[in-house]
Each structure stands twice: as structure tokens, then as C-alpha cells.
Structure 1
Amino acid sequence: MTQKLYGDEHQLQFTDSNKKIKLKEVNYRKYKTGNIISIELQNIMVYTKGKFMFDSNLNMILGANGSGKSTVLCSINIVLDGSLANIGRASEMDHFIKKDCDQGAITIALKSDYNVVAKIFSETELSSLNIKPSDQTVRITRRLYRFAQKSSKKYDYYINGKKIKTDSAIKLLVKGFNIQLDNLTQFLSQERAREFSNLNQKELLKTTLKSISMDTYNEWNSLSEVETNKNRLAHVITEQQRKLDEANEEKTFLEKKVEENERYSNLQREIKQYDNLLALVKYDEIRKGTQKAEADYEKCVAAFESKSNELKKILKSEKIYSKIKDKVNDEITKFEKEAREHVRSTYNNNNEINSWKHKANEEIANLKHFDSIKRKYETECQKYRTAIEDIEKQISEFVIEEKSDYDQWKQDRLKIGGNRRNLDGELQEETNFITSLKRKQNTAEFEIKKLQNSLTGKDPLLKLDSDDQKRFKTALDAANQKGFKDDVLPPAVACLEVVDDRYADFMNVAISRNTSLAVTFATLEAKNAMGKFISSNLGLNTYLLEQTPIPSPPISIEQLKKLGFDGYASDFLEGHSKVRKMVIEKNRLYRTPVRMNDLDQIMIDKLKRLVDNNGRLIFNQVFAGRSSYKFIKSKYDGQVSVSSFNIQSGRHYRKTGSIVLDDLKKQTQESIAHINKSIERINGEIVERENKINAIRIQLLRLSEEGNEIVEKIKKYEIQAKIHSDLHRQKERFEKNLENAKKKVEEFSDSKTQDMKAKVIKNVLNFKINQSLAILKPIKPLAEDAAKSFYSRQKKRLILQSLENEQLLNQGETGVLQREYKELERQVAETKEFLDEAKNDDVRKSLEKRVSSYSKQDIKALKHLAASIDPLTTTVVATALRSKNSELQGLHFDDESENRLKEISHTIKVINAELPKLQAAFDTASSEFAARDGALKNLVETTVNGISEKFESLFKNVGCKGKVTLSDLSQPYKDWEIEIQVAFRLNAQMQKLSGKTHSGGEQSVSTMLYLISLQRYTKAPFTVIDEINQGMDANNERKIHEILVKETCSSNEGEGAQYILITPKLLTNLYYDYGMQCNIIFAGLEMPDVDKDSHLLNLGAAPMYELP
């Protein structure tokens, strides 16, 4: 017989020279997609030629050390493109070629599903890979070469005998079949066995999620990135908003600086224009000639000397006025005395004289009106001086903070505002977290109420574990919503029971776990609509109810009872008719006899002889007493072997439900206690969070107080600055009023006014004297002396009044003359300077050169400026220039402010443009995160809880304690963790599984039980474990072996799980089950040639062959 492995050019020959045996036919229906069916070796490690066949359940590979057991593990890793680090055996592929051989080859046959493969490759690619819809397997071959010039030529790949150029198709197939050789839960080599125990919590989570499904892992990884991106965007938005606020503050400050710079620059340009105009005026005056300058100088000197003499004369007249006043006062006293004596005796017209005297006094009073106006303005001047001094005193005593302090306060206010925003964000986050915790608390309290009331409820799903309850309830609710309420049926354990509790233990063994906990579809439409959701999303087994009737039993019930049986197992099961039909058909209960008494040897021999027309056994399984019997007929010699095992009490299918109720009550109490602990933990966390919130609120209160204090300082400063500014404006107003009053005083002190006053006084005096003489002429000579005396007195008085008025006028004029004197003195100096410049030829040439450099635009601007100055003289222009320079000194030019303003404006523009995009990205990430977050958390939490329940149950079976804990899922995705806790004594406290804490055997037990607990949820097609049992003691090894067999083996198609366990030895009298396969490797120099004697292929050595 020839078996093709590598294509037309490479063939591996399996020859049976006697032609007496043939390969055992493979039942592909019992394999799952991705299961390994066979491995064929040629010149690999210790093998010249070899082939391994694998069952869909547990496969044991046994052999002595060095016999080539681990070659299977290495071959799987090599062909399926695994990293050499997974096996830790060699650094190069050619090291796996057998010694003294140039090349070797490995072929692995995997169970294929065209629907799965069609999703990976296009039709053209499938055709090029020689993959057809009818193929039950896909055969992958890797041929290794020891000698090759290039490393890429050291191996070739073949798919279904067709050579492929690259290994990309292999990688796609491996990924499509969910094969993960780098995952310790799927591929655990001897060299890496301890790595699993040393995984940290985060690595264990990643490994578990990959085992469940790469889609689940990718979703977790994707959501972790989305969450990280969302948090990053939130932080960036906060930072950008803070930068924007600071930039706006700085922009306002810089705009004021730029305005000041503009005033400074404009003032500089004006100063330059005034300076140019001064040069132009000087040049123009020099150009008109030096004579004018000399004339102006002489004129100024003459005016100065005249004013100087006038001032000296007035100062000298002050002394003369004082002496004359004293003399006139004496004469007036004398004349008054003489006049009184003469008038009293001789003169009767005194009234007339008094009348004229009164008129003269009125005229003199009118003259005094000039002085009263002058004194009024002088009084106003004094009032304004006093007011200005008072304001200056207030300004000097005014206390105001520095402008730098004011700017610092504003910066502090911005900083406090940013801190308050951050604390507000933390407060909101903590508040949301507390809300979430309280929601969890309410959910937990509701769950307790639900559990407390569960025993009195009528819901059949209450018979299930909490995890199974949730998943089945979700499935049935979804079916009800989509209108398939009657076509999607609950699990058998929830709706079936025995007619008599004596048969309940039989049913718990006869009905497989997969069919006990499965959803039954009554119609194909229901399966098409709900199948993917229930099997993929919820991880539940599903079966489609066959529309054909239940097959007939091999013999009638009467004949069976004559044999001593109570009936078939199907006769003692009642409940939902459709679910009952599915269970009976899938588990072949219609051909499984049961009886309450044990079988004796006579009955066993009788059952061995019961065969049908084709020579096949009628009954393969029988339940009797407390045992289950299995009958297997060999295809080689026709011998029938019988195996039996004791039946343990089961929890399902009981009619009275006493065990169910007791177990459920116990589980309910445990669940309530567990939930109460969760509530206590949540309450503790709520208290902790509330304390944190109180601390944040205290910080906010402190920041609020600091902010209010700074705001008060800022307001106080702004009020003080306004008062300070108002004082300066008031001072300027008073100074202006003072200037106006001074001008009025100067007007009444003018020399023309004084001349007018003197003329009026002179005219009045002459007029009064003449009038007095005219009146006195007709008076009798007796009164002449008296009249003369009175007249002399009146005249002297008028003279005295005139002197006093003149002295007052002179005093006012003295101040005016002194100011005019100083002004003339300055003009003399300027005209002298100008005259010297005019006479200096160098100055003239310099000015000429400067003026000639002016452009037409400069001349036009200077003409415009000159038109606004009247008179246009050197003195006036120089005075304006000095004023501009003084104003310039009060300003400051900041060179960097304009560039900095442009930078800040650009920054604000960029931030304003970025913020909406960032907010939109944040909203998108938040909505995406919110839409996907709940589903993944629910899936992970449900799955890990189920793993933990299974793990805890398995650990109880070995007399130890263990559980799997999941971290708080409210924390960021990247911080999620899974922790395995174990205790190998019932009274010991559980600890985290660790290579540093636990022994090798304890690590092996924990690892195996975790892998078995994970089996129900993983989509991995197979699990390979190398010598995991070597560190265990005999008791643990026996228990682990029994658990592994029961959990992985099933006689039904499509059930069980494919495990490949490599071990050098096994204990005696271990528990074995149907569907389990042992590959025992015999190797050595004295091995006989099987090709020459096919009879050496006995039942134990060659299960893949069958005799004709």
C-alpha cells in the first residue's frame, strides 16, 4: 500500500508485503475543525519512518526516555510554523533532521471544514492550494534540508501535496483554525511547563483570552487601545484648554504691550520729524543771513537791558513810595486839624464839599475795582495751589501694590482655576465610580433576593449553575424576542426527569454532559436564525432535532424483560417531548438496557453472544445495579471484552429533586455568602471613595478660598488704581485751572493796564482839584484859609491813595517783569547760540548736507508739520522737540512683544482649530467604547466566573482548594488581571500560584486543572502537553488522570476535546473510557520487522490497522 505525502515527486511508502492488513477507516464526523488526525515522519529526530494516528478525545503517547515521544510535539510546532522557542530543543530547523540524513519530512493531517477555509482564501487561492469542498482533511507537509546555500531554501511547504512558495498560507490556516502554538494553555512543552506558573496576572489574562477566542483577545486589546486613546484625548483636551486660557491671558497682556510699542514708535517718528524740522528751520534762518541773527541778538539784548533797567527802577521806587507815604500822612494829619478849626467857625458849605468828596471817593473806588479782580484771581491761584499740594500729598501717601504683584495674582488665579478644573474632573470621576459601585451593590442585593427566592420559584433553569442559568436564560430570551419561543428549547437537565429516582444515577451517566447542557432547535429556521449567536457568543452546545422518528430498539421490550432487564433507559425518562427525543437519539438510550440488580457472569456471557445479522453486538452499554458495563467486540479476532466502572450519585434528572434541592440550597447559601462579601467589599470601597471625595472637596474649598482672596486683592488693586488715576487726572485739571488763573492775573498786571490806571488817577485828581477850586472861588476870604487847609488835606489824601495804588500796581508788575526778564534772558542765550552757529561755517555745511538728504516725501511731511506750528521758529520747534523727548522717556519699548504676540495668536488659532477635532475624536472614542464595553465585560466576567467554578469543583475532587479571581473590571483594560489561588491543605489559606512558592507537583496539578477548566470555553482545536505528570505524586496523578479522561472523552460524535498528553509512564489500574487512545512507542535495535510479519501488529501495537 502506498500513502502519498509530499506530492508527485516525493512519496513515503508503507508496504505490507503479505497484503493481509489494511488501514483502519477514519470516522471524520467525530473530529472538530482543526483536530489533528495523523502525523507522519520521515528521517526526523530518531524516526526513519513513522506514523501516529489520533482520536478526537484524549490521546496518550507513552514510551521510554529517548524513544521519540517529544518528536510529536516538535513535529506539530515545526509544521504549523511555530517558533522554536515554544519547544526549546534547538536553534535551527535542520537540527531536527535525523543523523546522517540530508533531508527529512513531516506531514500533519488536520480536520478541515470548507466553510471555514473559504473564509480564509479566495476561490483562486483554494484552487492553487489544491483544497476542494469535498476534502475532509487538509494535509500540510514541511520538508527540511540540512544543506542549502540560502536559509530560505532549507525547507519547503506542501498543502495537499502541492508545493507553495511561501509560508503565508500556513500562517493563515493556523490562524483560521484558531491554533496558537505560543499559548501555554494550548501548547505546553516540557521545557516551558514551569512558565505557566510564573505568568503574572496580566500575562495570564492575555493567555486565557487568547485561548477563549482570538476575537475576544483582539476585542480586549482593541478596547484597551480605545480606552487609552480616550483617556489620552481627555488629558490632551484639558491641557489644550488650559494652554488656551493662558494664551488668551498672555495675548491680552501682549496686545497692551504692542499698543505701547506703537505709541513709542509713533513718538519716535514724530521726534525724528521734529528734529528734521528743527534742522530745516535752523538752516533756513542761517540761509537768510547772519545779519538778521545779529539784529535779533541785539534786539534781544536791548530788550533785556531795558527790562532790566525797568525792573531796577520799579524796585527802587518801592523805597521812594514808602518815604513819600510817611510824609504825606503827616501833612494830612496837620491839614485835617487846621481845616476843622477854620470850617467850624467860618464855612457854611461843608455839605457841598462833602458831596464832592463823596463823588471823588466813588471815582477812586471804581479805580480800586481793577485791584479787586486781580486779587480774586490771585485768590483762585492760591486755592488751586493748595488743592494741588493736597492732591500731591494724597498721591505721595497713597498706598498701592506693585503692578508685578497684580500680574502675579492674575497668573495665580489662572493656576488655581486649572487646579480646580482638575479637581472637579477627579470629583466627577469619583462620583461616577461611586454611582457604578452603588449600581453593583444594588445588583448584588437584587441577586441575593433572587437567590433567596429561587428555591420557591418554578423556573426550571434554577436547577442549573449560575453561569449556565445566565447563558441559557439569555438564549431563551433572545429566541422569544425573535419569535422562536417554541422552537428553541431549554437544556435537558432543566426539563427532563426520571419516572423513578432509582434510575436517576443511570441517566446522569448515560446522558453525556454535552447533550445535558445543550440548546435544542426544533426547526432548521430557528437554528439558522439563532445558532451562531447561541454557540459563538454564549458558548453553548446546540443540536438540531431530527425530523425522523426515534429508531426502534434492537429487540422488543418483552424480549428485553425476559432477559431480566427492567427496560430501556429511554423508557424511564419523561419531560419535554422534543428535548427527550434529542437526548434519546444522541445518547442511544433506545438501545441501552437497565436493571436494578448487578449482572452475574452468566448474564454477561449471554449478552456477549447477542449479535445482529451482521455479527455486531446488539448492546454496547448496559446499566445494572451500581455499575456501567461496556461491551467491545474486536474487529481482528471477534473476541468481546467487557469493562465496568461504578456509578456515582448524580444531581440531575431526579423526580423528587431532594439532592438537587440540597445541592441548590447549599450553592445558594454559598452564593449569598459570596455576594455579601462582595457587598462588604463594595461598601468599603464606597467609603474609601467618599473619603477621597471629601478630601477633594476640602481641597476645592481651600482653592476656592485662595481664589476668592486673590480675586479680592485684584479687585482692591483695580479700585486703588482707578483712585490713583483719578487723583492724577484731578491734579492735571487743577494745574490747568491754575494756569488759566495765572494768565488772568498776568493780564491785570500788564504794563498797559497799569498805564491806564495811572492816567485815570491823574485825570480824577486834576478834575477833583479843579472842581474844588471852582467851588472855593466864591467863598468869603474868612473861609479861604479853612478851605485851603481842607483842600490841601484832600489833595494829600488823594496823593496818598494814588501812591498806595501805584505801589500795589508796581508789586504786581514786579512779578511780571521778573518773568519777562527770565524769558528775555533765555532768548538772549538762544539767539546768541544761534548767532554763533550762523557764524560757524561748519554748522551751516552740516545742516545743508542734512537737509539735502531729505526725500520729497520727507519734505512733504515736514511742510505738513510746519503748517501746524505758529510761529515757526527755532525756539518753538526746539520746545516741542523737548516735550516729545520727555514723553518718550516715560514709555518702554519691548522688542519681543510683537513676535511673541504673533506666536501666541498662532498658538491660539492652532488650539482653536485642534480642540473641535480632539473633542470629536474623544466623543467618537467614548461612544465606541461605551457601545462595546459592556458586552466584553459581561463576556469576560461570565467566562472567568465559569472557569473559577469549574476550577474550584475540580480542586475539591482532589481534596484541595482553588479558585480563579478576576480583577475589578471598572479599572482600565490594560490593568485587568486574572489570578490563580490554590491551597493544597483544606485548612490552609489560599495563595497565588507561583513557581517560587509551590512545588513542581503542585504547579503541575494546578496547571492541568486550569487547562481542563478552560476547555469548556476555549475554541482551540487541540491541546498538547508534554510530561506534565512527572512532578505529581501517585495519588494526585491518579486523580488528575481520571478527571482528564472524564472531561475529554465522549462516545458521541463532535463531543469531547482533543488532548495529546506525552508521558514516559502511567500508573497501573488507571481509569480509562471509551474514545481514549494510547499510542505506545516501542523502539530499539532489536525491534522486529513489521513489514515481514504483519501478525506482529496485534491489538495493542497497531490500532490504526484492521485485519481483513
Structure 2
Amino acid sequence: MSGVETQYKRGAIKSLKLKNFLTFGSNNESPHEFPFAPRVNIVCGPNGLGKSSLVAAIVLCCGGDKTFMKRGKTLADFIRSGADKAEIELTLHDPTVPAQEVRFKKTYSRPPNKNIFMVDDLDVGQAVYRLRLKELNIHPGSLMQFLPQDRVTELGDLKEEELLLATEEALGADSHEMHQELIHHRREWLGIAAELKAMKPTSDLVATKKGTLDSELRKFRQQDKEKERMMSLRLKLLILRIKEAERQKEACAIEEAAALAVKQRLEGLMVQLKIHVEKMQQRLGIPVLMLATHAVGEDLEKLQGLLTKDKSSKSEAAIELNRITALRAHEIAEQRHDDKVALLRQEISMMETEMSQAPDSMNASRRVDEADVRTLRQTVQELQQREKSLLDHLQILQAAEQNLSSKMASLRESTESQLQRLKHLASAGLISSDVITVFQTIRSQPEKYASRVIGPLFLMVSATEETYVKYLETAFGKELNHFLCDSTETMKEMNQEFRIRQNLQCSFAVTPPQHGQERRGGFTCSEQRALLMLGFSKALSDVFLAPEPVKTFLNTHFTPDCILINSCGDDQSADSLVNYWRQVKSVPANYRLRFFTEDCLYEELNRRNSGIVKQRPLVEPCLLQFDSTAAESERKKSLWEAEIIETERKLSEERMELKTVQLNLVAKEDELSALEAEMSELDRTMFEAAAVQEVLTRKKEQLDINLNVERRPRADTTAEEEINKKILSINLRRASMLTSLDMDGSIANLEALSTYVHEGCNVATTLLGNVLGTSGAFQRFHFMTKEKKKIETRISEIQARAHLLDVSIQEIKERIRLMIKELYLNRDKGAAEVQAIFKSLHPLKTPAQVTKALAEAYGNYLRMLSDKVDAAALHDEENSVAADHSKAARDWLKKSFDLKVSQASHLSLKEQWLTKLRSDVDLISEKVGHMFARLGYEGRVVLVEPAADPGTDDAVDYEAYGLDIETRFRDSEPFAKLSGRQSGGERVVSIAIFLLALQQCSDVPFRIVDELNQGMDNTNERNIFQLVLDASANSDTQYISCSPKISPDYESNNPANLNFCFLMKVHDNEVPQHWSAAAFCRALQEFQRQQAEYDEQFQDNQYQEGDADMASEASD
């Protein structure tokens, strides 16, 4: 019997068609069709009529393995004898598609084993076929959903762990997937822990080798350090020598300046003395000696001319000589020069006034200079303090920059592992290079791409291809948000296949056909209304072809969050629009098309004439997910980068300011030195002025003495006559000498004559000086001339010494430059190391101290050289060991990090999984206990949780979790696990009750059980069947049971939920046929109607016969 059809669950079986499958169908007949009701379906019939064949057909059509039924080894074993191929068509309910159903059809053929997988009459391939079945929550390999006749007892033989996994799979994919992921995580971290344990000996060996090498390196570095100290000491000694030479040079400059000042003063005094003598001579009427000497020389030349003539001229020569040398005292004019003396006194008075005012002006200048010096020294101190504060601030900024750099390095490490994983996938050919480009774009702009994945995607498909929709669904599933379609037909088909609903808020746009196809516009009004009725938020009718209009179209009417589906002709490998966006690299980023899905980014799908290849979606799409934590990390990274840039800018400004301060400090120090030198020069000038004033005083006194001499009474003429006589006698003697000599010798004695003349002049001058009081002035003049020559000689010596000091300083500077290059530039020394070395040498102030320290360092270096170390080999070995140690450390850190990440990633998942699992097990146990209680027994389902594993950081082994079915059929016995010790009937009853309880908790669309009542007595069989009916009343899961008989005396509140399918054999030579339950009910109703009519007619006849009898009796 069959009642009114209730609502099918999504994925429930509506009908099954078989052709040439085992005992059903033939080549000339239409397929056998079996209808199924939404709830309970009972397939009945004698043994051997094909009940298990129906179960096998459903299993195979749902994607099950050929060995699952244990009735055949190849698919050819399921083909009817004499036929070449077999067909199975299963119609499943699916309210999300317009037709409300989906038809899955499989065709098997004998060798060469050509198999066809079709969905709604479309050949989609095995992968898409199974994917569609999985969407309907059908698991063909699960004994919880498909329980064949020969595997009923196998379900009871499952281990605890296997029973738990099968139960999780039947309950839903979430719990099962979480369990599998936890198992994977634990295996992963156990493997990493084993690798870490294996890496430890290698790490210890490298550490030991590194320790030995470090000892050698310390020796070598100590030698190198001592050598650097020696070079630094030598450099310090040279610097001290330069300072000493510069000091000596400055002393030479000061001494030279002093000598020049003295020379200038002497020259001034000599000029003044000469003027004074000339004035005195002019005043006394005495001719200037130099002029007289010059005149004597001229006269001697005349005398020489006379002597060269003949001997008779000797007398003339004597007369001429007397004329030349004769000095008459009475010829000296007696004149007085009072006016000149007054003028001289006035000049001396003016000089005294000037010299008295000079100290005041010099003192004022000195006070001004001292004030300037104090100001400059205060400025220098302020600049030094500013320099120190700037250096401290620079150190703080450098520390902050290093801290930010370390933070940036830690952030880079957090995303570097993801990038390395993506590169590994790309090298394995699992993803395209576009994925890595997109990942790097996302990481560079986290604030824009947080919580979603964006990237380019180009799908080249056309509306005429029958299979493109399936490939799209294989790649994208049901998470597409926006589309650009090539035609309205494509849009409608995608709407049907992807089940677009109101809440998705999707938009469609149409691009016109290409490659010679008929051009058409956008949506018509009726099409737009139809789209809006289907639930689309808007329908965009604008049509553009060129890239620029496409850009305008997207910016005006569409979001960049779209999928581009562009048609392509068979004569081209890609559409022109797609090629344009691929090839044009100079298009700005904001004008480039970006296409993405909400959850995952997929690689490009390549198109060929035979279809689309690379249907596989992106492997491990979670690598591209950026949650709020990652976005926050990227935001911090951006902030830190900006802070680093700001810090570097501040560092640059501080360095520039420090440089400016240092330059100002040097300038101020130079200015201070100049002022101090000017003050020293002023002191010397003041000292010299005092000396000049003292000289003036002495001159004034001398002038007074001379004036007193001048006022003395004239000497008598007797002294003058005596002088004239003496001069005359000398000249006569000279003349006699000339006359006594021959003419030939006169020329030779001319010089002697000249000498005598000069001596005579000197004698006369001395005598006259004694008389006139002027011989002291001439002596002082002669003394000053000698002193001037000495000072000039001293200045030349000072200049020569200064030149030698300059040469020595240049040589020392060149040596210093070479030593600095060897010590610092060739050794890659930094500024900090240079400062540290010189700070250590700061206490050494004198060359003697430096020389002593240099001798000690040289002795230490010689002692260290006894431990010979090959520097080149040591450096090579150091680099090798350092590389090995660094690699081992990196590997260790990476493995440790992977271990911690793997251990930490499962904690929340573990809690979520255990919470859900315990809840499900408690619910199943409650329902199992209730069903066992109705049968008069006791039963429960227990979750087996393993004890802690001391060998790992985690307390459990996720593979050891299990599920036990515990029963008690007799009160005298305790609860016992389902095992082989129990009878076959008890095991079957326990399995049946467990499946019925699971049916009420799971979300599978249907469950098939083949002859579950084997081994049951009539009571248990009837009770189990009644439980099936009760369970179907409380669950929307479809139940299909195959049994050779039906239990009597069952009760059902809703018989319309029952559907019976009888398999019968009319004649022995005929094939089994199925009987329609609806036809059977109609025949039964017709029989009951005819029976009712017959009963009513019989009663009418009885009434009529009774009335006739009563009438006859009345007549009688």
C-alpha cells in the first residue's frame, strides 16, 4: 500500500532505473524502474530475486567501489549475461534546482571498460560526478549508510577506533574532518619531534667543533688585538710627535715675530740716531763722514791719474793730497741752531705723549679681548655640551632603530613561512605564479585586503560548451559572489547550477558574442524582470568591448569583486580582452582588473579543444587567509616601517646638526686661539712700548747732556791747530811714501794710501768726536748695525728650522695616513671601535709613556707569536663551521617553531571537536538506551578516551579515541562490549538499534540495510521493525530495507510513510518482475469495493426475501 507522498529530504532517492544489471532488464526492453517513498521503503521477495542486486546498484550509482558488496571483483561481473553494458540511473531529490531533482546515471561496459558518468544527461566525468554526490551528503563507502547483506556482522566487528570514525562520517563532515585534522597534526608534530631528536647529535658535534675553533679564534684575535694595540700606540706616538713639532713650529713663529719686532725697533732707532747725528753735525758745521769718505775716494782717483803720468808729478800729487786731507779747524762755521733743538724737543715730547697714551689704548683693547675670550669659551662649552647631548640622542635613536628592525624581522618571519610554502607549491606545479604575486600584494597592503583574498582569474569558456558549468563548480563550489557572463543563456545556466538565492546579493552583466557571432545588446526588460524575480540585486545592461570601456564599466556599475567569464573561439587560445590584461604591464594598479572569490583563490584554468584542464582548486587555500591578527601584524609592520623612516630622518637631522655644531666648535676654537694669540701679541707690544718709552727717556737725557756740552765754552784754537798739524804731518808722510816709490809701485800702493786716508779720516773723526761729544752716537750706531745683522741671521735660522718642521710634519702625517688605512680601513673597523681603542690610550699623555707602553705591547706580541695560527685556514674553517652552526641552528629553530605551531594550532580545534563529539555520543547513547528499554534490554554507547601519553607534550592520542556499544540482555550479567562472544541475534539486534539511533542523529539523506533481520527470532524481528517505523516518524531520513518477509502485527500511526516493493517470479522460466505498490493498492481497493457491493446486494436480497415471507405469512 502507498499513501500520499510526503516531503523528500534533499538527496533522498526518488526512483531507480536498471537495464542489463545482473538479473534486471534486457537489451530489447525499457529499464526497470523502482519508485521509493520519502520515509520507509521495504523491498520484499523470496531469496534469489535480486534484493541485494538493488542495493548493489544503488551503491555503485552513488560512487561506491565495486568490491564494497563483496559480490564481484570487476564491474563486468555486474553486467547481465549476454549484454555488453549495464545502465544504472538514480533520481535524487534536490529542491535547490528548478527541476527539484537530479539524475545520476552510470554506464558500465565490458572490456575495454568504457565507463560514462552523467548528471542530468550531461557527461561530466568521474571527479565532478562524485563531487555532486558529496554535496548531497552521500558517502558510498560508509557502512553506516550502506549496509549490505554480507557485511552486517562486519559492522559489529569494527574496532573501537574504526567505529568512531564511521560514526563521525555518518553524523556529518565537520566532526570527521576535525578528527582527521587533529590526527594529522599529532602525526606531524611527532615526526618533527623525532627529527629534532635526530638533529641533536649533529648539533652537539657542530657545537663541539665550534668550541674548539672559538678557542683558536680567541688566540688569533688576541694576537690581532695586540697587533692593533701596537699600531695604535705607534699612531699615538706619531700624533704626539706632530703635536710637539707643531708646538715647536708655533714657538719658532713666535720667536721669529719677536725677532722681526726687535729688528724693526732697531731699524727705527738707527734711523732716529742717524737723523740725530746729522742734525748735530749740521748744527756744529762738521761734514758727514760718509760723504767725506766718498769725496776722498774721488780725489784718490784723481791722484792716481797724476801718479800715472811721470815722476815729475809727485810734487803735484803731494800738493793735491794735502788739499784733499787738509782739515782746517778755523773753517768750521760757528753756528747755533736753537730752533732745531726746540723742534727736536717738540718731536720728543710728542713721542712721549703717544707712548703715554699707548698703554691705555692697549689695556682697553686687552679688556675687550678678554671679554671676547670669555664669551668664546662659554660658547665653546655650550657647543661641547650640545655635542654631547646630540651624541647621547643619536645613541638612543640608533637603539630605537635596532629595536624596530628586530620587531620587523620577527614580523617578516611570521609571513615568510607562508610565502615559502606557496613557492614550494608553485615549484611542485600545484599553483600558478599569479598566486605568489597576489600573496605578496596582499601582504604589502594588509589594510586594504584584510579578511579576504583577491587576485586575477581568467576563465575562457563559452556558452555552447556543455560541461563548462561543471568545471566551474568543481573549481569554485557554491561561494561565487559576482559574475561577468558572456550571454544571458550562460547566466541562466549558472543561476540554475549555483543555486543563487536572495541573500547572496549577486549582480550579472552581459558581454556580447565575439568572433563573428550575432551582436546583441544587454538585457531586455523582460529578462531584467525575470532576473530580479530570481533574486538578483540588479541586472546591468551596459555592453562594452574595449579594455578602456571595461574599466569604465567596472568603475561605474560594478565592484572589482567579480569573476570574468569571457567567451573564446576555437581558433584562438585566449580572448583578446584577457590577452590585453595579461600583456599590458604598464597599466596602473588601480586600473587593473581584480577577480576573486570570497573564500579561496584559484589558479588559472587553461582551455583546450577537448575541454578545460587543471580543474583542481588551489591547494591549501588557508595559506592565503588573512585574519584580524595577521592584519593587525601587517598594520603594526606599516607603523613600524613609518617609525623607522621617521627615526632615520631624525638621525640624519641629528647627524647634520652634530656636524654643524662640530664645525662651529672648531671655528670658535680657532677664533679663541686667534684671540689668545692677539692678546699675547698685545702683551709683547705693551712690553716693547715700555722699552721704547725707556729708550726715549734715555735719548731725552742724552739730548740734554749734548745740549749742555753745546753750551760749554769753545775750546781754544790751540787744540784745533794741533789737530791740523797732526793731519798735515800724516799727509806729508803719505806723500813722501808716494814719492819714494817708483811709478810702477805707486799703483800697487794706491789701496794702502786709501787705507791710510780712511784711517786718517777716522782719526780725525774720533778727534772731532771727542771735541764735539758725538763719538758715542757713532759707536751706538755701529753696535746697532751689528745687532741687526745678528737678528737677521737668527731670523734666517728660525725660518730654516720652521721649514724643517713642516717637512717633518708632512712625513709624519703620511705615515699616519698609511697606518690608519692599515689599522682601520683594511680591517673593517667602525667608528665605535676606533673610539674604544683611543679611549684605552687616553691616559698616555707623553711620548715617554707611549714609548714604554709600545715596548710592553711589542714584548707581549712576540710572546704570542710562539702560538702559531694559520690565519687564512682559520678564517676558512671559521666560515665553514659558522655556516654549519648557523644552518643547524636555523634548522633547529625552524623545526622547533613548526612543532610549537603544530601543537598550538590544535588546542582550540581539540576543544571544539571533543565538545561536539561528546554531545553527539551522549545523544546517540540516550536513544540507544531508550530503544533497548522498549525491547526489555539495556544498552548504551560509550566514548573511549585514551590515557595521557607521557612521551609527548599532548595528553592524548587522537587515533586511540574509540566508540563502544555496550549491552546487557540478562539482568544477572554486567554490561558487555559488542563482540563475538554474543549470539548472532544479539549482535544483529544491537547493530540494528545503533543504526536506528544514528539515523535520528545524522544528516544523511537515506540509509540502506540489506536483510538486517538475519538471525533474529520473530519477536525481535517484529520489535525491530516497529522501531524502524517509530524512528521514521521522528526523522526525515529515508530508510530502505531489503528482507524476504515482513513482520506481522506492526503498528503505524502514518501508513502513508510506508512503501512496499515486492519482487516476484510468475513462472520459473521468466525473469523476476517488480510489482507496483500503487497498482496493488488500487486492485485491493477495487476488490474491497466489489466486495462491499456484493455484501450490500446480498443484504438487499435477504431483506426482499424476508419481506416476501412476511407477506405470505400474513396472507396465510
TM bin, normalised by shorter chain, reads 0.3 to 0.5
Rg (Cα) greater in structure: 2
Give TM-score scaled by structure 2 length.
Answer: 0.36
TM-score, with length taken from structure 1? 0.36
